[in-house]
Amino acid sequence: MSTRKSGVWCVVKTCNNITEKRHFFTFPKEYDRWLKWIYACGRVDLKVMGPEYAHRNYRLCHLHFEEKWYKISKSRACLHPDAVPTIFFERK
């Protein structure tokens, strides 16, 4: 998924107050990679829902990935298949 659309939010609880333009990525369907994502972003509560549900319903914005893991063009953002989120923020 590319630029922010109405109703699309980052799954990271401390992220939704950030106002800059963001690009969103769906959770991976592959179980092992999906587990890495939910543990990295502190959303272990999503484990009971499974990777397919998370893939269809949750997004993570580009601010949680190092720049080496994604490319943003005028029309879309692409995430490297091995990317795992590593950047998180403290609540202010």
Q: 60 φ, ψ to 5°?
A: -125, 135
Counting as low any pLDDT under 50, the low residues of the chain are 1-5, 91-92
Q: In this predicted structure, what is the pLDDT of residue 14?
A: 79
Q: In this predicted structure, what is the pLDDT of residue 74?
A: 82
Q: 23 φ, ψ to 5°?
A: -115, 140
- Structure tokens, 64: 């949680």
Q: Residue 26, Cβ neighbours under 10 Å: how many?
A: 14
- 34-59: per-residue pLDDT in tens? 999 999 998 999 999 999 999 999 99
Model's pTM, two decimal places?
0.81
Q: In this predicted structure, what is the pLDDT of residue 85?
A: 95
What string of DSSP letters covers 2-66?
A: -B--TT--BSSTTTTT--S--BEEEPPSSHHHHHHHHHHTT-GGGGGT-HHHHHHH-EEEGGGS-
